[in-house]
Amino acid sequence: MDWQAFWLTIRLAMLVAVILVIVGLPIAYWIAYSRWRWKFLAEAVVALPIVLPPTVLGFYVLVALGSRSPLGRWWQAITGHTLAFTFTGLVIGSLIYSLPFAVQPFATAFSLVDSKLMAASATLGASKLQTFLRVVLPLSVPGLVTGVALSFAHTLGEFGVVLMVGGNIPGVTRTVSIDIYDRVQAFDYAAANQTALMLLSVSFAALCLVYGVNRKVWALWPWK
Amino acid sequence: MTMAQNDIVILPPSGSNVLSVEIRKSRSQVDGGFTLDLRFEVMSGFTVLFGPSGAGKTTLLDCIAGLAAPDRGTITIGGSVLFDPQRKIDLPVQRRRIGYVFQGLALFPHLTAEKNIAYGLTGRGASERRRHTGAILESFRISHLRQRRPAEISGGERQRVALARALVTDPCILLLDEPLAALDAATKSKIIDDLRAWNHEHRIPILYVTHSRDEVFALGERVLVLENGRITAQGTPHEVMTAPRTETVAQLAGFENVFDAAVVAAHEDRGTMTCRIVGSQVELETPLVRAEPGSSLRVGIRAGDILLATVRPQGLSARNVIPGRIVSLQQRDMIVVARVDCGIEMDLHLTLAARDLLELQAGREVWLVVKTHSCHLMAG
């Protein structure tokens, strides 16, 4: 089993999940509460990675990161190398790829919070930010756990985007799913099976966490 | 860090606050499509806002609290302006210092009773917060519940927590949206007593929304009647309810019989009038109001104020004796509702014993007796 690939994949998935909390919360808040009439356009863009083939997504990310795009040139001017075929490039691709899996559960959880509670919070002197931190966020914990676990598990198993953006550089961009593909290509079914089983177990555990938390709203609260 | 000095209006401490509202707000067709258009002042003490559902009571409270914006008008408390678009003032909800107990209470489900109550005190120091919370827990007799969450306490207790949470912040005005609707009478009257005791010390305007007639009489020093977005009556509960001037109030106030009537003659010397009920030959002697003969009015008579006799009564002080025939008798709980055809149909209430003793049945000829002052006149 290729432990290097395994830990690289875990590191990638965790990093993406953490960044998606930071980036996803404001986007989800805006999607849940904005009354902008063109909001559906933004919602559609966020949801695109769900329906798009990963190769299509990977292709455009590769183009965007490459030295012909403004972003790629800017990055090259600062760091001296391109984003494509690097771990950072992989993170950026994965962020886009997994964005809806974080934002959609967050936004759903926010919109399920009774608006009367937010009104009550405001009459008690709380600002919008305070209301968000003290009322909306605590009542959205199951949705937050779902979003984090899903984006983690989704990043864990990605293949197409990684192949397009990252290629197959051991220790840099070689993830578990690429490793499995390589082993199968080499007819090493035993090693492929080992790694596949590991990926299956971790993904299953993540989904168990999601459904376990959502089984009952307060199941994970320490005080119940 | 220095305090921001951009406050347009500095709210005075609560005490002698008069709430003054003059607003207009059109609601979209989707919401029922009527216009809230009213103007009133509320002094400290209880004022009951009474009206049928959909009259605009909650919308009015939301406008005062800043949760909804009127199309135009002004809202002031004491000397401070909460809303005045001409002066570009629309104080955000969190700076209006309004205590609002919502229909359904809106307690925070993830916080204990104590933390719910302390929610609005975050600007203060920890010791002051504890002192205020402790005092109000005490005065609403819920100290023993401080560690419980809303799901773990009874409806009446939740009510007290919601009141305490709104009051602990020392608001300029208290808005209560049917806060006691779901409670039994005993619990309700205890909570009202506690609220009265609290208000005795603090003296702020309390606007209490209800559509329960009993609560109007139990609470109100003053009643505002809201119908279709407009204030149609105001005064003491007794004034508003016993002399209803519109039919909606009449039905809310418990008038089972409401008829269109025309003034036949006024008897200024006796303080009475004669009115004929439209579509019949029935003439009623009613109290005198300022109305020209021939003008139209409405007459309301409570079913419990009508007497029934099986022979033509004589030697009565009551001036209205109307012959008729029983159409139907229906038992409801412990009373019998008799419908009598006198040219118009009138409902009256009888006891079971009266029905049995008089051997009443449909088709029987009877006489109805109505006192002059049991005929309540309203605008036509």
Residues of chain B with pLDDT under 50: 1-15
Contacts of A121 in chain B (CB under 8 A): 108, 119
Q: Is residue A161 part of a domain?
A: yes
Alpha helices (runs of H) in chain A, residue ranges in sequence order = 3-33, 39-51, 54-65, 70-79, 87-111, 115-123, 128-131, 137-139, 141-156, 160-165, 176-185, 189-215
CB atoms A126 and B123 under 8 Å: no
> Going by C-beta distance under 8 Å and a sequence separation of 6 or more, which residues neighbour residue A220?
A141, A142, A145, A212, A213
Residues of chain A with pLDDT under 70: 215-224
Q: Is residue A219 part of a domain?
A: no
Pairing assessment for the beta strands B205-210 and B222-227 based on DSSP bridges: unpaired
Domain span at residue A9?
Answer: 3-33+42-214
Contacts of B4 in chain A (CB under 8 A): none
Task: Output the six-digit token pair for A106.
Answer: 């967050």
Contacts of A138 in chain B (CB under 8 A): 110
Distance in angstroms (rounded) separating the CA atoms of residues A8 and B116: 45
Q: Which of B41, B61, B63 is nearest to B51 (CA)?
A: B61
CB atoms B99 and A138 under 8 Å: no
Output DSSP code: residue B11: P
Per-residue exposure over A70-87, b if at least 16 CB sit within 10 Å of its own CB, e if not: eebeebeeeeeebbbbbb
Selecting from A124, A130, A135 the residue whose C-beta is nearest the C-beta of B169 gives A124
pLDDT of residue B32: 60
- Residue B235 phi/psi, 5° resolution? 150, -165
CB atoms B109 and A139 under 8 Å: yes
CB atoms A139 and B110 under 8 Å: yes
- The B222-227 sheet, strands edge to edge: B98-101, B173-177, B205-210, B45-50, B222-227, B230-235
Helix (H, G, I), strand (E, B) or coil at A135: helix
Note whether A116 contacts B: Cβ–Cβ < 8 A: yes
Radius of gyration of chain A (CA): 20
Selecting from B106, B149, B169 the residue whose C-beta is nearest the C-beta of A125 gives B169
Distance in angstroms (rounded) separating the CA atoms of residues A147 and A46: 14
Q: Is residue A220 part of a domain?
A: no
Q: Is residue A166 part of a domain?
A: yes
Please name the residue of chain B whose CA is at the shortest distance from the CA of residue A120.
B106
Q: Is residue A222 part of a domain?
A: no
Structurally, how many domains does chain A consist of? 1
- The B345-351 sheet, strands edge to edge: B307-309, B365-370, B320-332, B335-341, B345-351
Contacts of A139 in chain B (CB under 8 A): 109-110
Which DSSP string do the residues of B155-188 spell out, in sequence order? HHHHHHHHHHHHHTT--SEEEEESTTTTS-HHHH
Q: Is residue A221 part of a domain?
A: no
Q: Which of B53, B61, B36 is nearest to B206 (CA)?
A: B61
> Going by C-beta distance under 8 Å and a sequence separation of 6 or more, which residues neighbour residue B37?
B23, B24, B25, B229, B230
Distance in angstroms (rounded) separating the CA atoms of residues B135 and B138: 5
- Beta-bridge partners for A111: none
Contacts of B104 in chain A (CB under 8 A): 116
Note whether A117 contacts B: Cβ–Cβ < 8 A: yes
CB atoms B108 and A130 under 8 Å: no
Percent of chain B whose predicted confidence (pLDDT) is above 70: 90
For chain B, first and last CA: distance in Å?
A: 65
Q: Is residue A223 part of a domain?
A: no
Contacts of B109 in chain A (CB under 8 A): 139
How far B346 CA lies from chain A's nearest CA (Å)?
Answer: 45
CATH number attached to the domain at B255-379: 2.40.50.100
User: Alpha carbon of B54 to those of B31, B47, B75, B241, B327: distances in Å?
Assistant: 9, 19, 22, 20, 35
Q: Is residue A49 part of a domain?
A: yes
Residues B128, B129, B133, CA angle at the centre, nearest 5°? 115
Pairing assessment for the beta strands B19-26 and B98-101 based on DSSP bridges: unpaired
Q: Are B118 and B125 in contact (CB under 8 A)?
A: no
Is domain B19-97+170-249 in CATH 2.60.40.1260, yes or no? Answer: no
* Residue whose structure tokens are 């608006």: A115
Task: Output the six-digit token pair for B285.
Answer: 């002697």
Task: Output the six-digit token pair for B34.
Answer: 């009527």
Which DSSP string do the residues of A25-47 spell out, in sequence order? HHHHHHHHH---TTHHHHHHHHH
Q: Quick: pLDDT tens for A123-140.
A: 999 999 999 999 999 999
Q: Are B179 and B163 in contact (CB under 8 A)?
A: yes
What ipTM is given for this predicted complex? 0.80
Domain with CATH 3.40.50.300 in chain B: 19-97+170-249
Please name the residue of chain B whose CA is at the shortest distance from the CA of residue A116.
B106
Please name the residue of chain A whose CA is at the shortest distance from the CA of residue B175.
A123
Per-residue exposure over B214-244, b if at least 16 CB sit within 10 Å of its own CB, e if not: ebbebbbebbbbbbbbbbbbeeebeebbebb
> Going by C-beta distance under 8 Å and a sequence separation of 6 or more, which residues neighbour residue A79?
none
Pairing assessment for the beta strands B205-210 and B45-50 based on DSSP bridges: parallel
* CATH number where A19 lies: 1.10.3720.10
Helix (H, G, I), strand (E, B) or coil at A149: helix
Residue A78 one-letter amino acid? I
Q: Which of B130, B131, B127, B187 is nearest to B163 (CA)?
A: B187
- Beta-bridge partners for B300: B258, B376
pLDDT of residue A94: 92
